[in-house]
Amino acid sequence: SQQGEEDPQALSIQEGENATMNCSYKTSINNLQWYRQNSGRGLVHLILIRSNEREKHSGRLRVTLDTSKKSSSLLITASRAADTASYFCATDSTLTFGKGTMLLVSP
């Protein structure tokens, strides 16, 4: 299994601050994906980064990938209360997920 493991388990910040979450995995990958889950809902795909990419941006999201360290990070800039959710990473096709990072953004 190519499970992604997110770190930290929980993160609490104020609106306007940046939030950084990390993901580590164990084997070679073709791509890594980040998802968001609001309480009681399904996961929503945020961004996909391929193994030959080092950084990718989408709006206030920035994802980096370091294949030598088998790690990725998700940065959310200028966070909003609506960003409050759990964030998961997953690698490759048969997606296995970690337990996620629970982000709380306070107004």
- For residue 54, the SS3 value is coil
Q: Examine residue 97 and tell whether it contacts another protein (CB under 8 A).
A: yes
Considering the complex, what minimum distance in angstroms separates the CB of residue 54 from another protein?
18
Q: Examine residue 52 and tell whether it contacts another protein (CB under 8 A).
A: no
CA–CA gap between residue 84 and residue 21 (Å, rounded): 13
* From 68, 82, 93, 107, residue interacting with another protein (rule: CB under 8 A): 93
Q: Examine residue 30 and tell whether it contacts another protein (CB under 8 A).
A: yes
Q: Examine residue 40 and tell whether it contacts another protein (CB under 8 A).
A: yes
- Identify whether the C-beta of residue 24 lies closer than 8 Å to the C-beta of residue 71: yes
Sheet with 101-106: strands ordered across: 10-14, 101-106, 85-91, 31-37, 43-50
- Binding residues for another protein, per CB under 8 A? 30-31, 33, 35, 40-45, 48, 88, 92-100
